[in-house]
Amino acid sequence: MPRAVRHINETRILDSLYRHGSSTRADLARELGLMRSTVGNLVAGLIERSMLLETEVAGAAPTGRAGRPGQWLLLHAGHSAFIGADIGVGHLSVVAVDLLGHVIKSRTVAHEPAGGDIDTTIGAIAGLVRALVKQLPAEQQVQGLCVVVPGLVDREGVVLRAPVLGWNAVPVQKLLAARLKWTGKLTSENDANAFAAAGLYNRSPAASADALFVYLDAGVGGGMVSQGQLLRGRHGYAGEIGHIHLGEHGFDPKTAVQGSFESYVARDAVLARYRHHGGAAGGIDAFVAALSAQQPAALRTISEWAWWLGRGLASLISTLDPGRIVLGGPVAALYAFAERETLASVEKHLVMPFALPIIEVSPLGPDACAIGGAMVLHHALLSIDERLVYGAEST
């Protein structure tokens, strides 16, 4: 019990310093309701393990109150590294995040294997992880690896279904652990949940305390946050918002569920509708260029996309009542061209008393999901009960 209590209070100190950036022993004691001698003992142990640094405050008490100058306590960024590895749609991304939650190393490469080629993909992502870890200083402890996939992942790290990869029942954690000979903490995450984690587990979680993160790519996924907690559902599959039903027939006939949200607004649905209106389908970047050039086929497509996006978001607002909606993924770039029409559609499909939440596009780039995977691990280190963050883990 004494060891457990010490661990809990050390974790509370680390979490407080992460949220506030810095503090003193006295302020930590006040915030955490602990005796100053207890905090002093805990801090001494954390400094000895190189998890904390301290520096003298010159001229005044750190909080501006009168009294003796104190010592700033800060997290030692270089103590830990958390690795996120994203098997994305057409790309692979790996990142390393330090104890302050800052990205310190990252790499994204194009990757277009033949459908269902599991071995090539696992080998490629393993190579990127191995190279990234080698770039880290020897004293920076790797706290774990989280692999992110665009599909349904169970608590054992098995990808049950990832149509865009052509994967079904793929034990991605075990395969990656074997390829890397990994003996540390290893977990896995769905891409939309990882995207949500990238925004949620920062130093200002209140901004996303009740939010919906929508990841728009080849499919549509969601990360739902309530009272600062990422909702996972009974089996861990919550957030498959791309499958909510909006109509009878979508724009993309290849979508698994016709009439679903993603059959109207995901990448292939956008390009299929663009072809329907006479456009020359390339990728999303080419479509954005056509929008910028005010091409009529592109303008008709974006108008219809905005209507269906607004209709889907309105259904989700009515169900979840989020204070903020954050859009991410390659297709989120279209929102800048359709913000007014999307908001009009949301309002049209909402029934009072629901108010329009803030809707914004994430500033994170193509490595957003890899960052989120790393931040899942980071959050686990600063959480009292890691089981609330991890499902099963592999060692």
Name the nearest CA neighbour of 271 among 237, 289, 298.
298
* Residues 6 or more apart whose Cβ sits within 8 Å of residue 268: 218, 252, 254, 255
Q: Which domains does the chain have, with CATH numbers?
A: 2-75 (1.10.10.10), 80-197+368-388 (3.30.420.40), 206-361 (3.30.420.40)
Contact 172, 179 (CB under 8 A): no
> What span, in angstroms and rounded, lies between the C-alpha atoms of 59 and 276?
70
Per 3-state DSSP, the chain is made up of helix, strand and coil in percentages (nearest 5) of 45, 20, 35
Burial group, residue 217, by CB count within 10 angstroms (0-12, 13-18, 19+) = buried
pLDDT at position 208 is: 74
Residues in the chain where the model's pLDDT stays below 70: 1, 57-70, 203-207, 385-395
pLDDT at position 282 is: 86
Contact 267, 301 (CB under 8 A): no
pLDDT at position 392 is: 39
pLDDT at position 338 is: 97
Stated pTM of the model: 0.89
pLDDT at position 158 is: 95
Name the nearest CA neighbour of 111 among 129, 126, 89.
89
- Which token pair is 311? 């209709």
pLDDT at position 70 is: 66
**Beta strand residue intervals within the chain, DSSP E:** 52-56, 71-75, 80-87, 91-98, 103-110, 141-149, 152-153, 159-162, 167-170, 186-190, 211-216, 220-226, 229-231, 324-328, 358-361
Burial group, residue 96, by CB count within 10 angstroms (0-12, 13-18, 19+) = buried
Name the nearest CA neighbour of 15 among 316, 386, 392.
386
Name the nearest CA neighbour of 19 among 225, 269, 203.
203
> What span, in angstroms and rounded, lies between the C-alpha atoms of 314 and 138?
50
pLDDT at position 143 is: 96
